[in-house]
Amino acid sequence: MVLFSAALLAVVQFQTVAAIRSLTIDTTSGSVQGFICDKTPNVAQFLGIPFAEPPVGARRWLPPSPKSREEGKIDATSFGPSCPQFEIDASVEPSVYLIDAPEFNITPKDDQNEDCLSINVWTPWDETQNQGDATESLPVIVWLYGGGFTGGGATSPYYNPTSWIERSGKHIVVGINYRVNIFGFPNAAGLPAGEQNLGILDQRLGLEWIRDNIAKFGGDPDRITLWGQSAGAMSVDYHNFAYPEDPIVSGLIMNSGVTKLPKISADVEQTNFTFVADHFGCCKGSAAEEVECLRNVSSSTIMSYLKARADNRTTPSLGFSQFVDNRIIFADYTARALAGNFSRKPAIIGSTESEANGAMPYNRTYGPNQALSDALTTAFFLCPTVQTTQDRYTANATTFRYIYSGNFSNISPLWWEGAYHAAELPLIFGTYGIVRGEGTELQKELSEKMQDYWLAFAEDPVNGLPKLGWESYKPSGNFVLFGKDNQAVTTVPASKLEAPCHAKPSGLPLPA
């Protein structure tokens, strides 16, 4: 790994970039006032900037509208509310994320409100710098949180990039809040077919806001990388296909999620929304009247009803997530890829070694049925990613492939948890040491290398990683392994990792 280490050191030592020196920034939403935190004095933070009109009242279940400019100064010193959602009680459905690593969840004191469509910007800060000396705008990494399209938000303690930016001093991270659950993905018969995946439309409007405003924060609108994990990664790939002619972004990063991950709403008859409407006495007219009536029920009341059903395991279960509408989300991604109907932007795509360990029935003492967990990881994460990579290779789109295998006790405190779904995120964000110990030297080394790879890709999606020794995918080439066998970075032949996907695992459906 000498090539990796030497190249990374050279990049860190010799590249100089710009930083902003004003905490008041004029945007299309209005003038925003940011702040500096004592723990990261070289990072300016602008939190909770509204990018859309509040999707409340008559705007509920409509595509987002750009935020009109506010008079006066917008206070951007704290996170905006998270979008309405609920969390199943740990006593009902215990999990790694509720018991062992709750830092992946939005904070318990976090406000929830339908007026939740906001942007968070973290950018290098240097009040002593002469603004006129700036020679280069900074690459921008836009973060989309996961949560199965039913939850998630910006306030997760693990998703704070300030220490990463403090370390690099040469990139910007922007987070987009988007609607989830029934408010983001209603799948209602009374709404137009192309307006069911509202959460993805929120993300798109957020990207447009970033394109139009990021230069004011020191960012380069021509170097925006869209990055997500799980549902956020699937969203990244959805944008890749939904906006092939105007993707806005220059690169894509998908952690544990692609369009082929088999998680699409099974409610093809659109009955779940009607079931909720009926509970609130809203099924006395047409489908459109059903929607209009339910707009008059508060979001907290609707969420309380859905949570009670989930906690009590009431049947039928009611789920609200992304839906094939043939505008934003399609059913024929391989055909589209082979026809070249996607952005063709370079991509980093990968997954973790033990994805399903965090989703299996929770047994604190004995862990999951590991054979079944491994089979689910293969079927629902590894193989969809392999197929996506091969489709991209056939279409001549540059792809960099990885597997994350890190196993650190402050992220995976129980012996059986390993590199479960999302376990790599605290290392990339640099937040792995906020609870349960500061971590090991290997963890620090791996964290910094992953950060530097992500940044090199954001700086130059085509050539940045090859300069560090990470070559793009080809069938005869290698995957990069992160954290395997007590080494920060190693490689493995692609053919070895892809082998399990050549045969259907017994008893498991393998995505097409």
Q: Which residues are catalytic?
A: 230, 355, 421
Could you tell me the two tokens for 255?
């952690």
Write the single-letter amino acid at 122. W
Q: Is 448 helix (H, G, I), strand (E, B) or coil?
A: helix
Give the residue from 147, 433, 166, 191 showing the smallest Cα distance to 288: 191
Q: Is 99 helix (H, G, I), strand (E, B) or coil?
A: helix
Inter-residue contact 352 to 407 (CB < 8 Å): no
Backbone phi, psi, residue 410, to 5°: -80, -15
Ranges of H-type helices in 104-230? 162-168, 181-184, 198-213
Could you tell me the two tokens for 238?
């959805």
What would the DSSP string read from start to end of 402-440?
A: EEE----TTTS-STTT-S-TTTTHHHHHT-TTSSS----
Q: Helix 231-242 and helix 198-213: axis angle, to 10°?
A: 70
Could you tell me the two tokens for 68?
């009109």
DSSP 3-state percent helix, strand, coil across the chain (nearest 5): 35, 15, 45
73-75 vs 172-176, strand pairing mode: unpaired
Give the residue from 405, 14, 46, 438 showing the smallest Cα distance to 213: 46
358 Rama class: left (phi>0) / alpha (psi -120 to 50) / beta: alpha
DSSP bridge partners of 501: none
